[in-house]
Amino acid sequence: METGASKSFMAECEVLRKVRHRNLLKVLTVCSSVDFEGNDFKALVFEFMQNGSVEDWLHPRSDSVLPPRHLNLWQILNIAIDVASALDYLHSHCETPIVHCDLKSSNILLDDDMAASVGDFGLAKFLRKTASGSGTNESNSIAVRGTIGYIPPEYGMGAQVSMQAESVVERMEIKDVLPQMHAIKKKFARMAKSIAREFRYKEKIWGRKSSLFSGF
């Protein structure tokens, strides 16, 4: 195993050893051995998540054998709440604050009930606590890696790893699902107009008017 991959594996093991939360992906077992050719073999075995990642729902692969799937409004809201709950635990309720450093839709997994769990802690960083209780990290962005488009832009300008920057990434993730929320809003608007037309038709039959749907 390459040095970088080995460091990532050890970092993930260290994080998973110290955390336990309903919205963090559960590790079942860890394997560190050698394969039949004598090469290092390391593996983390996680709980199977039946509904894949948020990425699978937002941007399905063209060669996918599954039919197109869409998140509804309540699912989007619940996923956002689950991710926020996981980050709050990592940032504020661990003995040593942890910053995920690679939060993106492909690292947010969904179980059979569409509950979200955050996974992939290979780039996670432990922060030292200050006297005020907030977390800081002495290392700068030279040691920080992540995914372009998701990594906080201030890391590229030499800023330190921080919980505040990761909260910005969470808001970026929410924006990633806004196109679907817009489609849902349009669908609800069409439904409301259809109901209003039906109601006005009933008004003519009943012989009285109502201001309930006056805005449609």
List the catalytic residues: 102
Contact call for residues 135 and 162 (beta carbons, < 8 A)? yes
Task: Give CA–CA dist 164/71, Å, rounded.
Answer: 28
Choose among 149, 172, 171, 151: nearest CA to 162: 151
Mention every residue, 6+ apart, whose C-beta is less than 8 A from residue 6: 40, 42
**Identity of the residue numbered 142:** I
Work out whether the CA dihedral 105, 111, 117, 119 comes out positive or negative. negative
